[in-house]
């Protein structure tokens, strides 16, 4: 759509585009004549969620976590439980007032509240609340009683007041408190609008306090539960650890253990050293005993020496006696044989004793000296020393053996004690680790709890103010917006209808839909305004049609030329167009005959009279101008009787093969017209004569511009085209006047210079007035 077409469309509907929005604007003015005046207040809370201080020094900023925290806070502020408590506290505040106070409630609202309060509720409150208490205690007692009453059942006064649509205390009214985060800051803004300035301020004030407490309780409850859990677990772990430590103490006392590992190490070392010493002592004892035995063996010949000494002494004594006897015998004896023999015997005995003494002396020398050449007197001290040493070693080894047994007993006691002690120490280690982990968790939980306490402190940066002036009325904005929206909706509806208009509409659209060449177009002949020359427009369009008409037959010398006028539906304007074409042919000096079917009425039914509604909205007068020469041609007898004939449409209509079958004799040369125009009834209602159509020199289809071209119409047209080929053309009838400009240019009417300039501007033609 071109800008000029858009302007034309708006100008066509200018009245409805102006009047209807104005009517809606007046309606809005009437409906908002007595507007309800509301008051506005707001408060800003600092949360510290994103940039607030924290005990956790290494805590980093998390954008998603901050957004989640703000979502949680806003949802808490908007929760039903919060709204219920705010409503109950607001109601309690107003119930405790003896008279209206503009800081809390207006006089009208106070009177309305007193009217709806049940007497039994007043009496119950008087019993439940101690009037001797201070105002804060009375307020809290009233709140507690009303909350208990609200939760008791769903039919009491408080529950009903909150659930229905009371303008001040209902949940619907409290839910109008708007909560929003200010950009990406730590600030949350609460706004409220209501018809009472005192209630507006007090509602926000109570809302702020309730939200602070609920958010703090919620933040701290989770952390406090965790702290209590860790404290309980820490107490249990501590008891468990003390019990195991007491078990270890008892075990050490029973086993006389001071330091098991040092003691066991000392016992092992002592046992090892004692074993080495014992083995060494045993070796020394064995050596000493061997030495003593050897010395004892050496000392065993002492008896033999004594015996030898005694034998030598005895031998010496005997030898002395013998020597004495020999001396005596020698002195006394004579030469007798007996004396000699006796002396010889005594000498032999003395010699034997001497040899014996010598032998004993030799043996004694052997006994008195060892084989190593050590004198026997030196062996005795060594033997005595060895005996003493042996006895000493035996005593030591006896003591060491007793000590070794004691150490073995202690070692045997320490061996299982070590495993038990290890198990107890392992239990203590596990218990200590558990205790330390729980203690660490408790420290973290307390740290988190303290952090939650810091982050849960909502602070009112901008407390709610008392509104002195009501909110400015939006009446003007509403009226203007309603007018604009109504105008836009109407314009959108007009554009929608124009865009989705699927009718034939104009010659260009018809050529595309019908796929046929056009012979021309004709407008709908309404009663035109004085400045518009419809006769001239119609005549100019007929000139174009006749020019195309004659152009079709320029190379044909056949006579008569048969033109078949048809339409797929009735009331398309065939008779009027056929008569006017025949009239133009006759005026050009050619003979013509119009053959119409008897089903067509020559008179045109008049449409309803022009209604006031069209005038009101400034639309084109829909009344047909029956005085227009184009329409009067049907009834003005411009054709002679022999030039206009009719035929009947009967059962044999479809079998008609030529013009002669219609009762027209064209063989007589003197009566044969140059052009024969045959009008056929609508093809979708009557079977058409196919052979008659094939003999036509031109098949002219007439169709209205304001009709939809259906599949049935298209099928029928395809059948006609299959019979006649390129001899089919059409005339589109009843087009809008704005479409006529596409054929004849600007409509012949008077225009002001300003309108001409504006039209050229919208067409982007700024130099059209310049002449060459």
> Is residue 361 scored above 80 in pLDDT?
no
Q: Which helix (H) or strand (E) element contains residue 635?
A: none
Q: What's the rounded Cα separation, in Å, for the pair 581 and 561?
A: 14
Quickly tell me which residue has 């060895």 as its tokens.
386
Burial class from Cβ neighbours inside 10 Å (0-12, 13-18, 19+) for residue 305 reads: middle
611 has pLDDT over 70: no
Q: What average pLDDT does range 388-392 have in this prediction?
A: 75
Instruction: Write out pLDDT tens, residues 524-558.
Output: 877 766 667 788 888 888 898 999 998 888 877 77
Q: Which residues contact 393 (CB under 8 A, 6 or more apart)?
A: 281, 284, 285, 288
C-beta separation of 188 from 47 below 8 A: yes
Q: 502-740, which class in CATH?
A: alpha beta
Q: Which residues of 580-589 are buried (b: 16+ CB within 10 A; e: fewer)?
A: bbbbbbbeee
Asked which of 318-327, 534-543, 691-700 is least confident by mean pLDDT, the reply is 318-327
pLDDT score for 332: 62
Confidence of residue 603 (pLDDT cuts 50, 70, 90): very low
C-beta separation of 395 from 332 below 8 A: no
Residue 744 and residue 726: Cα distance in Å, rounded? 26
Longest dimension (CA), the chain: 250
CB count, 10 Å around CB of 448?
Answer: 16
Cα–Cα distance, 351 to 356 (Å, whole number)? 8
Q: Check residue 617 and give its pLDDT.
A: 66
List the 728-735 sheet strands across, edge first. Answer: 518-523, 728-735, 698-704, 561-566, 675-679, 592-597, 644-647
pLDDT at 319: 73
Higher pLDDT, 658 or 719: 719
CB atoms within 10 A of CB 32: 16
Q: Given strand 39-46, what is the order of strands in its sheet? A: 178-181, 187-194, 39-46, 459-462
Domain boundaries, the chain: 3-33+480-493, 261-406, 502-740
Inform me whether the pLDDT recorded for 468 exceeds 60: yes
Q: Are 731 and 545 in contact (CB under 8 A)?
A: yes
Of the candidate ranges 385-389, 397-401, 450-454, 574-578, the one whose mean pLDDT is the lowest: 450-454
DSSP symbols for 564-631: EEE-SSSSSSHHHHHHHHHHHHHHTT--EEEEEETTS-SSPPPPPPPPHHHHHHTPPP--B-TTSHHH
pLDDT score recorded for residue 760: 63
Q: Which residues pair with 462 in a beta bridge?
A: 44
Query: How far is it, in rounded angstroms, from Cα 285 to Cα 122?
Result: 116
Residue 513 clears pLDDT 80, i.e. is over it = yes
| pLDDT of residue 727 exceeding 70 | yes
- Which range among 49-53, 313-317, 726-730 shows the weakest confidence by mean pLDDT? 49-53
Q: Which helix (H) or strand (E) holds 733?
A: strand 728-735
pLDDT value of position 575: 87
> Is the separation of the CB atoms in 408 and 278 below 8 Å?
no
299 has a pLDDT exceeding 80: no
For residues 267-294, give the mean pLDDT: 76
pLDDT at 459: 81
Token pair of 432 as six digits: 């200590």
The residue-averaged pLDDT of 20-36 equals 85
More confident residue, 174 or 453: 174
Cα 730 to Cα 516: distance, rounded to the nearest angstrom: 7
* Residues 261-406, CATH architecture: Orthogonal Bundle (1.10)
- Mean pLDDT, to the nearest integer, of 631-643? 73
Beta strands (DSSP E) in 151-226 are 178-181, 187-194
pLDDT band at 766 (very low <50, low <70, confident <90, very high): low
Q: Is the pLDDT of residue 42 over 90?
A: yes
Please determine, for residue 79, whether its predicted confidence score (pLDDT) is greater than 50.
yes
pLDDT band at 372 (very low <50, low <70, confident <90, very high): very low
Q: Is the pLDDT of residue 577 over 50?
A: yes
What's the pLDDT at 751? 58
Of residues 501 and 159, the one with the higher pLDDT is 159
The structure tokens listed for 761 are: 């501007």
590, pLDDT greater than 60: yes
User: pLDDT tens for residues 91-105?
Assistant: 999 998 888 888 999
Residue 90 has pLDDT above 90, yes or no: yes
The pLDDT score that the predictor gives to residue 260 is: 67
For residue 55, what pLDDT is reported?
55
Q: What pLDDT does 373 receive?
A: 43
DSSP-assigned beta bridge partners for residue 190:
43, 179
Cα separation of 207 and 282, whole Å? 100
- At residue 769, the 3 state secondary structure works out as coil
The reported pLDDT for the residue numbered 77 is 86
Mean pLDDT across 146-160: 89
How far apart, in whole angstroms, are the C-alpha atoms of residue 194 and residue 90? Answer: 14
- Cα of first residue to Cα of last residue in the chain, in angstroms, is 31
Q: Which whole number is the average pLDDT over 302-314?
A: 72
Whole-number percent of the chain with pLDDT over 70: 80
Other beta carbons within 10 Å of 756:
13
Question: 316, 336, 334: which is closest to 324 by C-alpha?
Answer: 316
Residue 52 and residue 70: Cα distance in Å, rounded? 13
Whole-number percent of the chain with pLDDT over 90: 13
The rounded mean pLDDT for the chain is 80
């Amino acid at each position: 759509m071109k800008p000029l077409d858009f302007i034309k469309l708006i100008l066509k509907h200018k009245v409805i585009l102006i009047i209807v929005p104005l009517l809606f604007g007046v309606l809005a003015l009437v409906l908002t004549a007595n507007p309800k005046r509301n008051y506005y207040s707001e408060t800003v809370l600092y949360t510290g969620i994103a940039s607030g201080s924290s005990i956790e020094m290494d805590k980093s900023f998390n954008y998603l976590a901050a957004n989640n925290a703000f979502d949680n806070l806003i949802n808490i502020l908007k929760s039903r439980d919060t709204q219920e408590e705010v409503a109950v506290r607001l109601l309690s505040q107003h119930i405790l007032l003896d008279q209206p106070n503009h800081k809390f409630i207006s006089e009208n609202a106070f009177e309305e509240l007193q009217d709806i309060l049940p007497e039994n509720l007043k009496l119950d409150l008087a019993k439940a609340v101690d009037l001797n208490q201070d105002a804060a205690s009375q307020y809290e007692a009233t709140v507690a009683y009303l909350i208990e009453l609200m939760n008791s059942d769903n039919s009491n006064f408080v529950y009903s007041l909150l659930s229905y649509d009371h303008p001040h205390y209902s949940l619907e009214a409290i839910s109008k408190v708007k909560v929003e985060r200010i950009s990406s800051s730590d600030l949350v803004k609460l706004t409220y609008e209501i018809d009472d300035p005192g209630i507006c301020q007090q509602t926000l004030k109570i809302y702020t306090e309730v939200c602070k407490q609920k958010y703090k309780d919620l933040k701290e409850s989770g952390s406090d539960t965790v702290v209590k859990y860790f404290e309980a677990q820490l107490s249990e772990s501590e008891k468990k650890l003390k019990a195991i430590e007491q078990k270890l103490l008892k075990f050490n006392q029973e086993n006389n253990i001071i330091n098991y590992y040092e003691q066991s190490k000392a016992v092992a070392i002592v046992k090892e050293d004692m074993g080495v010493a014992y083995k060494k002592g045993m070796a020394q004892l064995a050596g000493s005993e061997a030495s003593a035995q050897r010395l004892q063996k050496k000392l065993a010949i002492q008896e033999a020496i004594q015996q030898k000494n005694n034998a030598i002494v005895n031998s010496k004594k005997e030898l002395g006696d013998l020597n004495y006897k020999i001396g005596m015998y020698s002195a006394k004896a004579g030469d007798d044989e007996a004396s000699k023999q006796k002396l010889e015997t005594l000498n032999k005995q003395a010699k034997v004793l001497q040899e014996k003494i010598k032998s004993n002396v030799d043996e004694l020398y052997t006994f008195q000296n060892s084989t190593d050449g050590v004198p026997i007197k030196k062996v005795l001290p060594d033997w005595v020393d060895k005996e003493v040493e042996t006895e000493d070693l035996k005593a030591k080894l006896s003591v060491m053996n007793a000590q070794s047994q004691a150490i073995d007993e202690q070692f045997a006691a320490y061996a299982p004690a070590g495993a038990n002690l290890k198990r107890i120490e392992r239990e203590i280690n596990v218990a200590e680790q558990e205790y330390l982990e729980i203690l660490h968790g408790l420290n973290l939980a307390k740290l988190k709890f303290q952090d939650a306490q810091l982050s849960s402190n909502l602070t009112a940066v901008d407390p709610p103010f008392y509104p002195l002036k009501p909110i400015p009325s939006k009446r003007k904005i509403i009226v203007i917006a309603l007018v604009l929206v109504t105008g836009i909706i109407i314009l959108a509806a007009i554009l929608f209808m124009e865009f989705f208009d699927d009718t034939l509409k104009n010659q260009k659209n018809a050529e595309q839909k019908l796929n046929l060449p056009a012979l021309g177009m004709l407008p709908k002949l309404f009663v035109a305004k004085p400045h518009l020359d419809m006769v001239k427009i119609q005549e100019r369009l007929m000139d174009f049609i006749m020019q195309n008409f004659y152009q079709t037959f320029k190379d044909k010398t056949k006579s008569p030329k048969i033109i078949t006028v048809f339409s797929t539906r009735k009331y398309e304007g065939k008779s009027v167009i056929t008569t006017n074409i025949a009239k133009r042919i006759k005026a050009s000096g050619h003979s013509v005959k119009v053959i119409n079917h008897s089903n067509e009425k020559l008179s045109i039914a008049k449409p309803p009279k022009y209604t006031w509604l069209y005038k009101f909205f400034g639309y084109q007068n829909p009344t047909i101008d029956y005085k227009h020469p184009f329409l009067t041609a049907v009834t003005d007898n411009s054709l002679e009787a022999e030039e206009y004939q009719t035929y009947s449409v009967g059962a044999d209509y479809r079998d008609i093969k030529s013009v002669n079958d219609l009762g027209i004799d064209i063989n007589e040369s003197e009566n044969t017209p140059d052009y024969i125009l045959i009008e056929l009834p609508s093809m979708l209602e009557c079977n058409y004569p196919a052979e008659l159509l094939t003999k036509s020199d031109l098949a002219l289809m007439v169709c209205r511009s304001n009709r939809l071209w259906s599949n049935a119409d298209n099928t029928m047209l395809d059948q006609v085209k299959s019979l006649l080929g390129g001899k089919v053309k059409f005339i589109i009838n009843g087009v809008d006047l704005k479409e006529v400009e596409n054929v004849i240019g600007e409509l012949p009417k008077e225009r002001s210079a300003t309108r001409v300039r504006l039209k050229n501007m919208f067409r982007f033609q700024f130099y059209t007035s310049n002449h060459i």
